[in-house]
Amino acid sequence: MKLYNETSAQLNLEPQRMRAVQGDLMDSNGPAFQDEDFRDFDLAVMSMALHHVPDPLAMLRALVRLLKPGGRVVIIDWTLDTAQDDGTDVVTPQYSTQYPVAYHGFNQQQMAKLFKEAGCVASDYQVHPEPSHCPPMSNPWRHLFFAKGEIA
């Protein structure tokens, strides 16, 4: 975070344009919801974090709250393995602070439902064609998706 903010200063960018802040997006009293600069975003991007969150709908609602009208939220995360592609929610039973993975991934159906319930009026879901290496998983080669939700 220090390096990010130092880089921003070296690039002569105003803190409003590029600034790292540490906080819990699930904490409605946290910095993301108190700071005047943390609202009216055109775009909120969350990369490889949604599968760590036990309540992904609450997280998407929190991200949507940061947007201005017409704003978009982009989620990058793992697709589900073929065996889990039936659209049922798959939560890892061993979720804990030592193993903070709540979901194996999300398919298109699940993301469309999450975006809709979070207040989005349109959504999209694209799978990256190249697999990514993810050594700790039983299948070390997995696909990422890029999903987009848009509010009115």
| Chain residues that interact with ligand SAM, rule: CB under 6 A | 24-26, 47-49, 52-53
CB-nearer residue toward ligand SAM: 85 or 102 = 102
Closest to ligand SAM by CB, 49 or 121: 49
Q: How far is the CB of 134 from ligand SAM (least distance, A)?
A: 10
Q: Are strands 67-78 and 144-150 parallel, antiparallel or unpaired?
A: antiparallel
Question: From the CB of 30, what's the least distance to ligand SAM, in Å?
Answer: 8
CA angle, 49 as apex, 30 and 73 as ends, to 5°? 75
Residue placing its CB nearer to ligand SAM in the complex, 20 or 121: 20
Nearer Cβ to ligand SAM, position 26 or 109? 26
Q: How far is the CB of 57 from ligand SAM (least distance, A)?
A: 13
What amino acid is encoded at 43 in this protein?
A: L
**Residue 51 CB, nearest approach to ligand SAM (Å):** 8
43 close to 73: Cβ distance less than 8 angstroms: yes
Closest CA to 60 of 43, 77, 75, 48: 75
Three-class SS state of 31: helix
